[in-house]
Structure 1
Amino acid sequence: MKSRKLKTTFLGVLGVAFAATAFANIASAATELTVYTAVEAEDLKKYAKRFNEDHPDIKINWVRDSTGIVTAKLLAEKENPQADVVWGLAATSLMLLGEEGMLEPYSPNGVEKLDPKFRDKNNPTTWTGMDAWVASICYNTVEAEKAGLPVPTSWKDLTKPVYKNQVIMPNPNSSGTGFLDVSSWLQLFGEEGGWQYMDQLHDNIARYTHSGSKPCKLAAAGEIPIGISFAFRAAKSKAQGAPLEIIIPTEGVGWDMEATAIIKGSKNMEAAKTLVDWSITKKANEMYNEGYAVVAYPGVAKPVEHFPPQVGSAMIDNDFAWAAKNRDRILKEWQERYDSKSEAKN
């Protein structure tokens, strides 16, 4: 009897051991995807966690940096791609990669449900949009009062001498927000007028950052009275108690969208397609809405506290194709003119 019990116990332990080994083998066999992104670093764990709730067999290995740096890295790797998927990069950057033949044509399941503005017009598509971010001015009411600064109402107001050394904005070579600012000014004011505007604005810039959200974060913290950033970041900071006024300039505001694509040459194509399929779902868009007020899936976006209601009507008719085609030329010109005030890169 004792021998039989020992045998039963042994077999039970052995069964548990086999089960544990099998589980470990399944876990170790999970497909790994290298995913390039410019999504805020604080959101990446959330993105992976929500995806893995539905697809635990795919592990995401993030490569994260600002928009300009991720774009440059992808272009440098054109002949030897290292990324499987881009999940969260400016649509203008993905259009540029598409022109270079670097994106895998793929229409994810359910793509027809997205707002048409948020998907590539090709069939099959090469990229799909996630959410949009919109330029705005973050104005710290406390610090501005100390410095005697009036409330600006337009982009051109920021060129007035009273704002000298009181404004921070992103460097467009490293920040997608910076590039949408510059490309929108060139569209709003014309090529010649746009560069003249930026010459005048440059006189008032304290420094250029390498992050699109940083100017607003600095303004919220009282380190600078005025930061050129994007509206959702401003609304989020204001909701956290920052003394900010969120200004939508009267001339209109530039905008861009974060988007997703598969890199041509991915060695994990089926897993890459699974991720891109999930990235356009209602569940994914509900997640995007936690960080952005405008998302690709109609009817999902909920009102965001402090988000300016006039943003929709202020968004310019952005020529994304023109911006993507002229991106290198614009960035080179900007670099030659204004880079002397850029902060050091980490």
Structure 2
Amino acid sequence: MRRFTLIGATALSLQPASAFAQANELVLYCSVGEEWCRAQSEAFTRETGINVLMTRKSSGETFAQIKAEEGQPRGDVWWGGTGDPHLQAAQEGLTEEYRSPLLADLQPWAVAQAETSGYKTVGIYAGALGYGYNSTMVTENPPACWSDLLDARFVDDIQVANPNSSGTSYTMLATMVQLMGEDEAFAYLAQLHANISQYTQSGAAPIRAAATGETAVGIVFMHDAVAEAVGGAPIVTVAPCEGTGYEVGSMSLILGGPNPDAAKIWYDWALSPAAQEIGATAKSFQVPSNSNAATPPEAPKLIDIKLIDYDFARFGSSEVRSALLARWDAEIGILPK
């Protein structure tokens, strides 16, 4: 007989008792930070008794794995990571429709993500794109705009992830296209390339490098820069003056996964206020999607940031996302360093 804490009782009671009788294991593909992945998995196991087999990979890597496993899926739930590849997975029939009873409690942007995908994914948090710089390395004329990152003083002193592996970096690519137009965006990225020392695999890695002084600037989601500053690093977080895009971090059920009952139990639990508040305990400062969940005070205030009207349906489509990544490979990825 499983016992559930009062914290999770409401969300867990949404599933019929028969589901718990059949649910013993969950295979979780996790695309947030390692610490948050572990904390979330451990909390779920404590509350349900369901063992979680968790693998942590970036959004692009997870999409590629789910695509490779099509027809013989090994995973049950894809939790976290930017919404664009979740939408592509939905479009390509890799994930399945599910409408949680907790949808009514979610922020409009989280529900919009579900509606756009035909309810094959849902928003679990939001975060704005920006960058952070090391204030001990950048002591004069601090950058405030995207254009400032083209300055020659930053030659080989900026890091950003590769958009093929990183949802963060794909969000940057899509943001630039929406801000500037496609040809102008690729011209900007080609200029920026001279200042890039490394295209990392993980979206958060650039700000960790800035925190240790390995690089001056890391282009990341702003909450990742905030996390480094909260941890004591000399990082200043920047919301670029021209405007910026944002992510709707998402969750999807993998079509045909081996443990469907456990997957739906996780899905409902992960949308509950208590489950969404675990992120802050793991030093993740995104804005949660459940309107009843407490937003971490350290989280960047989206209302104060000049956000573009990010077209999730277009940039999460298989055609557009694949075409942009192919163009990045052909025009930016091949440039010498």
> Is contact 1:92–1:320 with CA below 8 Å preserved after alignment?
yes
Instruction: Determine the C-alpha separation between the residues in 2 that align with 1:40 and 1:341.
Output: 29
Cα distance change of structure 1 residues 38 and 154 upon mapping to structure 2, 3 Å threshold: same
Cα distance change of structure 1 residues 80 and 173 upon mapping to structure 2, 3 Å threshold: same
Hey, what does 1:21 align to over in structure 2? none
Q: CA deviation at 1:123?
A: 9.3
Q: CA deviation at 1:342?
A: 9.6
Segment of structure 1 superposing worse, 179-188 or 313-322: 313-322
Give SS of 2:251's match.
strand
Q: CA deviation at 1:330?
A: 0.8
Q: CA deviation at 1:177?
A: 0.7
The one of 327, 330, 333 aligned to 1:333: 327
Hey, what does 1:317 align to over in structure 2? 309
> Is contact 2:227–2:285 with CA below 8 Å preserved after alignment?
no
Q: CA deviation at 1:269?
A: 1.7
Hey, what does 1:17 align to over in structure 2? none
Hey, what does 2:290 align to over in structure 1? 297
TM-score, normalization: structure 2? Answer: 0.86
Give SS of 2:78's match.
strand
> Is contact 2:128–2:222 with CA below 8 Å preserved after alignment?
yes
Hey, what does 2:250 align to over in structure 1? 259
Q: CA deviation at 1:289?
A: 4.1
> Is contact 1:206–1:341 with CA below 8 Å preserved after alignment?
no
Hey, what does 1:25 align to over in structure 2? none
Q: CA deviation at 1:122?
A: 6.0
Q: Deviations over 1:237-293 (max 9, x none)?
A: 112221121111101122112211111112322221111111111111212344123
> Is contact 1:67–1:89 with CA below 8 Å preserved after alignment?
yes
Q: CA deviation at 1:314?
A: 1.9
- What 5-or-longer segments of structure 2 have no aligned partner? 1-21
Matches within 5 A, 1:265-280: 265-280=256-271
Cα distance change of structure 1 residues 124 and 138 upon mapping to structure 2, 3 Å threshold: closer
Hey, what does 2:31 align to over in structure 1? 38
Hey, what does 2:100 align to over in structure 1? 108
Does residue 62 of structure 2 align to residue 77 of structure 1? no
Does residue 79 of structure 2 align to residue 87 of structure 1? yes
Q: CA deviation at 1:154?
A: 0.7
Q: CA deviation at 1:106?
A: 0.9
Count of residue pairs the alignment pairs up: 310
Cα distance change of structure 1 residues 206 and 267 upon mapping to structure 2, 3 Å threshold: closer
Give SS of 1:142's match.
coil
Cα distance change of structure 1 residues 109 and 215 upon mapping to structure 2, 3 Å threshold: same
Does residue 241 of structure 2 align to residue 241 of structure 1? no
Counterpart code for 2:276? N
Q: Deviations over 1:178-235 (max 9, x none)?
A: 1111110010101111111111111211111111111111111111111111211211
Instruction: Determine the C-alpha separation between the residues in 1 that align with 2:244 and 2:149.
Output: 14
TM-score, normalization: structure 1? Answer: 0.84
Does residue 192 of structure 2 align to residue 201 of structure 1? yes
Q: Deviations over 1:271-320 (max 9, x none)?
A: 21111111111111212344123110114233433x54466432221111
Segment of structure 1 superposing worse, 114-123 or 273-282: 114-123
Counterpart code for 2:274? K
Q: CA deviation at 1:97?
A: 0.9
> Is contact 1:94–1:127 with CA below 8 Å preserved after alignment?
yes
Hey, what does 1:12 align to over in structure 2? none
Q: CA deviation at 1:322?
A: 1.1
Instruction: Determine the C-alpha separation between the residues in 2 that align with 1:182 and 1:207.
Output: 16
Q: CA deviation at 1:171?
A: 0.9
Counterpart code for 1:229? V
The one of 120, 131, 134 aligned to 1:126: 120
> Is contact 2:105–2:292 with CA below 8 Å preserved after alignment?
no
Give SS of 2:101's match.
coil
* CA root-mean-square deviation: 2.1
The one of 211, 219, 230 aligned to 1:220: 211
Counterpart code for 2:109? K
Percent identity, please: 30
Hey, what does 1:141 align to over in structure 2? 135
Cα distance change of structure 1 residues 41 and 310 upon mapping to structure 2, 3 Å threshold: closer
Cα distance change of structure 1 residues 123 and 95 upon mapping to structure 2, 3 Å threshold: closer
Q: CA deviation at 1:63?
A: 2.1
Instruction: Determine the C-alpha separation between the residues in 2 that align with 1:200 and 1:31.
Output: 52
Hey, what does 2:45 align to over in structure 1? 52
